[in-house]
């Protein structure tokens, strides 16, 4: 696994030890304050660890891409609290909505046509699509509720690694001084999300399984 290069302009990452089932509101509030200040956090999910930042902060999203060393063609994901919030950022028909209900909340990322609510810089530059997910993780849900809106995210793969980070000690060691904070709620599953492209359904075609990950694609009929 390739180590992360320290970013000299950032102090050491703040570690938030948060209970995985009963998150402490005070700790969640402190973590959200960093997001509101334009920082990037490493957070646990119901798949692996992920990097998250404020959806409207371009500098933070640029830093998120820099950590992952990916260009603007790499799809980013919006993490939402529930399907009602998700529907504000994507165009969803009845067939797609039924599919979303089967996989949410859970370790799935769904690719959908982006709505006008999504900043152009966040959607795929040629396809005008966006990745969306609703996690089933108490700490991340608490973070989203306190933040009062979706977060921009990407699975925490380090450059030149094909396995996402899932252990908090590795996350802390390898990303220190690249992120402002790391939430420690114990180890995550050692898999990224399962990615399903629902955009073909808008043309009457079947959804496409893009990546098999932590989510069981069979519950979606795939």
pLDDT, tens digit, 9 for 90 and up, residues 16-60:
999 999 999 999 999 999 999 999 999 999 999 999 999 989 899
What percentage of the chain reaches a pLDDT higher than 70?
Answer: 91
- The residues, any chain, with a CB within 8 Å of residue 124's CB and separated by 6 or more, are 73, 75, 114, 130
DSSP annotation of 10 reads S
Q: Is the pLDDT of residue 3 over 90?
A: no
Q: How far lies 47's CA from each of 118, 154, 163, 167, in Å?
A: 24, 12, 12, 12
Say whether pLDDT at 2 is over 50. Answer: no
pTM exceeds 0.75, yes or no: yes
d(CA 1, CA 159): 9
């Amino acid at each position: 696994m390739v180590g992360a290069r320290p970013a000299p302009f950032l102090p050491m990452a703040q570690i938030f030890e948060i209970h995985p089932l009963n998150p402490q509101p005070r700790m969640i509030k402190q973590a959200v304050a960093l997001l509101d200040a334009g920082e990037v956090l490493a957070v646990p999910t119901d798949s692996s660890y992920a990097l998250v930042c404020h959806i409207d902060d371009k500098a933070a999203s640029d830093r998120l891409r820099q950590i992952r060393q990916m260009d603007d063609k790499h799809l980013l994901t919006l993490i939402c609290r529930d399907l009602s919030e998700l529907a504000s950022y994507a165009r969803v028909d009845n067939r797609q909505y039924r599919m979303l209900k089967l996989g949410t909340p859970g370790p799935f990322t769904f690719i959908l046509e982006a709505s006008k609510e999504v900043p152009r810089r966040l959607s795929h530059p040629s396809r005008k699509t966006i990745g969306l997910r609703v996690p089933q993780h108490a700490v991340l849900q608490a973070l989203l509720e306190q933040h009062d809106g979706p977060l921009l995210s990407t699975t925490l793969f380090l450059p030149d690694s094909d396995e996402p980070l899932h252990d908090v000690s590795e996350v802390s060691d390898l990303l220190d001084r690249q992120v402002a904070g790391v939430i420690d709620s114990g180890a995550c599953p050692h898999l990224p999300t399962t990615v399903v492209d629902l955009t073909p359904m808008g043309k009457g075609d079947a959804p496409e399984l893009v990546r098999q990950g932590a989510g069981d694609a069979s519950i979606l009929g795939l």
